[in-house]
Each structure stands twice: as C-alpha cells, then as structure tokens.
Amino acid sequence: MADQEIDEMRRRMATAAEADNEGRKRDEPARHKLKLLPEVTALLNKNSLRETIVDPEVNLLESVRFFLEPLSDGSLPAYDIQKELFASLAKLPVNKDTLIASGIGKVIMFYIKSKRPELTIKRQAERLFTDWTRPILRRTDDYRKKEFAQADYDPRFVRVHLLEPPSIQSQSLTRPSSMNRTADRVASSQASQAAAARKKALEAPRAFVRARMETGPTNYTIAPKSNVTFNENNRNRSSNVDIMKQIRGGRAGARR
C-alpha cells in the first residue's frame, strides 16, 4: 500500500512539474506544484515511510528535485515550495545511494552557489549539504571528537618574514660582486617596495566613514598546542580547596 502511494505521488509530482514548465512558456502562473505541495510535504513527513522514501529503487527524491529545479523560463519555484521541501528533506536519512539515484545534490549545490535564493533558503541548503556529506567524508558532528592540526608557537616566525619576497632573500646570497649599478638600483627599489608592503600589512586597521567590513584573517587551519596540564591528584585538589577557603576567610575578615 505504501509503495502504491509513493508511486502515485511520483507520477503526480512529475506531471505537475511538467505542467508548470509548459505554463511558463505561455506566460501562465506556475500553480500546479504549489497546489500539490501540502500532499507532498505530508507524505515526506511520515515517519513510517522515511526509509522507503530514501530508497534508491523508489527514487521519490527525483520528483522532489523536479519541484526544486528552476522553471523553463529560468525563474525559481515559489518560496513556499523551497521552504517546505528543504525542511522536509532535513528530516530524511539521505545516504550516498539516494544522492546518486535522485541527483538532488546538484540542486542543493545550485541553491548554495546561486545569488537568487533568499538567505534563509541558502542556509537551509548549506545545512543539508553539511549533513549529507559528513557521513560520506567520515566526519563527526561531535566537536569533542574532532581532530585539529596543532603546532607550537614560534615568536621568531613573524609575518614580516613571510611578506618578504623570495627574490630579495635569494639576491643577498647569490649576487656576484661584479653586478653593475643598474641591478643594485633594481634591488633597492624592490627592497623599498617590500618595506612599504610590510608597513602596510602591519599597520593598525583604520576606521572608514563608509560601512565596510574590516579585512583580516577569517579562519585558521592550525591550532596552538595547549600547555595547560590537569592534575587529578586528590592531594592537589584538597590543597586548592584549602587555599580558596583561606582567600574567602581573608576577605571576610577584611570586611569586618
């Protein structure tokens, strides 16, 4: 009975999507998918049919892709269609086989990269992309289990050294004593340009009258190693408690 219901819905969804595409060619409003939307969301939200819906053999999500794809004239489907279907997709246990069979991942990427969808829809698409690709890439959503690259902080490795062009660094080592004055002038001009670049990069950010976002590093790939050690010895813990009691007692005596 469930398979018949899903097959019937697949047929009706494909028919509605085709009718809207043909209607847009005649400048008619796309109303067929919007009319069928409540029945589609009701079927997708049934807990007893979740495994059947994501079955690649059933392939109901291919019809969902038809609903989310741009119409024949390039316009996006109605906002309610995008919002309701993205919310329903977030509740389904979509796997790799489902994505391959339905091709719905391509539509999700379209909503992520395109500038036309609303910001809320783009965020929903990004969340779906993250949730669907995490098991494929074998990544966990538990922050405590995530692994980060770490390195010791070296104060000698400063940004000024990174900003210095390698050509200037190599010239001081490979320049022969017989180099003419023209090459010296070129090297000095390059050195002055490098100094100006260093000064500009290291200067404090200035506030502008216009509303603009301050530029700077937005993400990091290596975390500093922590030098904090935790001692779980009961003696140390008891001594810490005694110290806190002494501090509190001293404060109380000072108040009196």
* 179-202 per-position pLDDT tens digit: 556 666 766 777 888 888 777 766
Q: Please state the rounded mean pLDDT for residues 63-81.
A: 92
Instruction: Provide the residue type at 210 as one letter.
Output: R
Instruction: Provide the β-strand partners of residue 150.
Output: 223
Tally Cβ neighbours within 10 Å of residue 17.
22
Residue 114 lies in a domain: yes
Residue 12 lies in a domain: yes
Residue 109 lies in a domain: yes
Q: Across all residues in the chain, what is the average pLDDT?
A: 77
Residues 6+ apart with CB under 8 A from 134: 140, 141
- Parallel, antiparallel, or unpaired for β 149-151 and 222-224? parallel
Top-confidence residue, 169 or 90: 90
Residue 74 lies in a domain: yes
pLDDT at 173: 45
* Full domain range(s) for residue 115: 2-136
Rg, Å, the chain Cα set: 31
Structure tokens at 105: 């991942």
Confidence (pTM): 0.56
Residue 204 lies in a domain: no
Work out the burial of residue 124: count CB atoms within 10 Å of its CB; fewer than 13 is exposed, 13-18 middle, 19 or more buried: buried
Top-confidence residue, 250 or 92: 92
Question: What total of structural domains would you count in the chain?
Answer: 1
Q: Which CATH number covers residue 90?
A: 1.20.930.10
* DSSP secondary structure code for residue 140 in this structure: -
pLDDT at 1: 59
Residues 6+ apart with CB under 8 A from 56: 97, 98, 100, 101, 102
Residue 254 lies in a domain: no
Nearest CA to 67 out of 119, 110, 16, 105 is that of 16
- Lowest-confidence segment of 51-60, 151-160, 163-172, 224-233 by average pLDDT: 163-172
Dist. CA 144–CA 140, nearest whole Å? 9
* DSSP secondary structure code for residue 94 in this structure: -
* Cα of 185 vs its chain's centroid, Å: 48
- Lowest-confidence segment of 47-61, 71-85, 239-253 by average pLDDT: 239-253
- Lowest-confidence segment of 70-74, 102-106, 178-182, 201-205 by average pLDDT: 178-182
CA quadruple 69, 74, 76, 78: dihedral positive or negative? negative
- Backbone φ and ψ for 150, nearest 5 degrees, come out as -125, 155
Residue 13 lies in a domain: yes
pLDDT of 139 over the 60 cut: yes
pLDDT at 207: 56
pLDDT band at residue 8 under the 50/70/90 scheme? very high
pLDDT at 218: 55
Residue 143 lies in a domain: no
The b/e string for 59-87 (b: 16+ C-beta within 10 A; e otherwise) is bbbbbbbbbbbebeeeebbbeebbebbbe
- Lowest-confidence segment of 36-40, 92-96, 151-155 by average pLDDT: 151-155
pLDDT at 198: 74
pLDDT at 199: 76
Instruction: Provide the residue type at 167 as one letter.
Output: S
pLDDT at 240: 55
User: pLDDT tens digits for 153-166?
Assistant: 666 665 444 445 55
